[in-house]
């Protein structure tokens, strides 16, 4: 890959996914595969390591669909269920790789993981539970393999969430505000991924227009929107409205940086 890093969008949907259970709107009944969105996560393949950002409720299927047989680490943005619920399924990688899984998350998220997956951290463990090594991260850069990762603190209403920058690629999901000092960490990126939930205002997510405005402010040459709800509209119709350098991400999309 000529020292490049490949990012695969495992899921690009919001917490309910698309289609949403019980909904018969035009998006949820669309026959366009790009309108089918699992919960938001990305797979990162470097020359030496493979890791995911977030383990969604769809994690098992996402790993099967992407044919990912090797996984070295998990990075977590925050502790909401649509970003952590699939962590139990790292058990398969424990078995395949004969090693515990390294998980990188904030102190607050690590505490939530210990509660939600208490059995994995029990003093006396039931056979076959996930084997996890928790690493506490803050705004200090850290490495996975040879990849230096810069955490970016963003706000999901009043909840702190981490975005991440590596290899001129920045990934931010579940945000509705980014402080100026954190914007400086994004500037200079070649590719930016940003959440764009819907058109109408939301208490904890960027709207489509807010995401467009922020992307233009940051002057990143290639931008993809993710964490998309069925309320945003049909993929192809929204895509036509966007500036030429901004696109809606979709499940299975691959980007190299």
Q: Flag whether pLDDT at 144 surpasses 70.
A: yes
Residue 39 lies in a domain: yes
Number of domains in the chain: 1
The pLDDT tens digits of the residues spanning 70-94 come to 999 999 999 999 999 999 999 999 9
Instruction: Confirm whether pTM is higher than 0.75.
Output: yes
18: containing domain: 6-256
Q: CA-to-CA distance for 141 and 237, rounded, in angstroms? A: 39
Length of the chain: 257
Residue 140 lies in a domain: yes
pLDDT band for position 22 (cuts 50, 70, 90): very high
Task: Provide, rounded to the nearest whole percent, the portion of the chain with pLDDT above 70.
Answer: 99
Which CATH number do you get for residue 77?
3.60.15.10
Residue 1 lies in a domain: no
Q: CA-to-CA distance for 250 and 66, rounded, in angstroms? A: 14
Strand partners, 160: 155
Residue 116 lies in a domain: yes
Q: CA-to-CA distance for 162 and 153, rounded, in angstroms? A: 5
Residue 16 lies in a domain: yes
The pLDDT tens digits of the residues spanning 179-238 come to 999 999 999 999 999 999 999 999 999 999 999 999 999 999 999 999 999 999 999 999
Q: CA-to-CA distance for 203 and 209, rounded, in angstroms? A: 15
Residue 211 lies in a domain: yes
Closest CA to 109 of 138, 144, 147: 138
pLDDT of the residue at 3: 73
Q: CA-to-CA distance for 174 and 159, rounded, in angstroms? A: 10
Q: Which helix (H) or strand (E) holds 91?
A: helix 91-97
pLDDT band for position 1 (cuts 50, 70, 90): very low
Q: Which two tokens stand for residue 154?
A: 């963003």
Q: Which residues contact 85 (CB under 8 A, 6 or more apart)?
A: 55, 56, 57, 59
Contact indicator for 121, 111 with CB cutoff of 8 Å = no
Q: Which residues contact 174 (CB under 8 A, 6 or more apart)?
A: 77, 78, 80, 83, 154, 156, 161, 195, 204, 205, 227
Give percent helix, percent strand, percent coil of the chain, each to the nearest 5.
Answer: 25, 30, 45
Q: Flag whether pLDDT at 257 surpasses 90.
A: yes
Residue 139 lies in a domain: yes
């Amino acid at each position: 890959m000529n020292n490049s890093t490949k990012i695969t969008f495992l899921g690009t949907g919001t917490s309910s996914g698309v289609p949403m259970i019980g909904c018969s709107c035009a998006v949820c009944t669309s026959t366009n595969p790009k309108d089918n969105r699992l919960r938001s996560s990305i797979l990162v393949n470097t020359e030496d390591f493979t890791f995911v950002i977030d383990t969604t409720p769809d994690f098992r299927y996402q790993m099967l669909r992407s044919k990912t047989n090797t996984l070295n680490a998990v990075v977590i943005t925050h502790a909401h269920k649509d970003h952590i619920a699939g962590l139990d399924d790292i058990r398969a990688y424990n078995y395949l790789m004969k090693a515990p899984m390294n998980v990188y998350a904030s102190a607050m998220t690590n505490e939530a993981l210990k509660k939600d997956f208490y059995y994995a951290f029990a003093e006396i463990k039931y056979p076959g539970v996930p084997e996890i090594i928790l690493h506490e991260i803050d705004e200090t850069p850290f490495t996975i393999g040879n990849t230096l990762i810069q955490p970016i603190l963003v706000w999901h209403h009043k909840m702190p969430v981490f975005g991440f920058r590596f290899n001129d690629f920045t990934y931010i999901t579940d945000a509705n505000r980014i402080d100026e000092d954190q914007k400086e960490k994004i500037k200079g990126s070649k590719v930016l991924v940003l959440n764009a939930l819907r058109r109408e205002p939301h208490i904890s997510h960027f709207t489509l227009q807010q995401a467009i405005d922020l992307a233009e402010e940051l002057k990143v040459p290639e931008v993809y929107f993710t964490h998309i709800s069925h309320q945003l509209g049909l993929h192809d119709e929204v895509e036509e409205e966007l500036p030429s350098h901004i696109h809606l991400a979709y499940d299975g999309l691959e980007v190299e940086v």
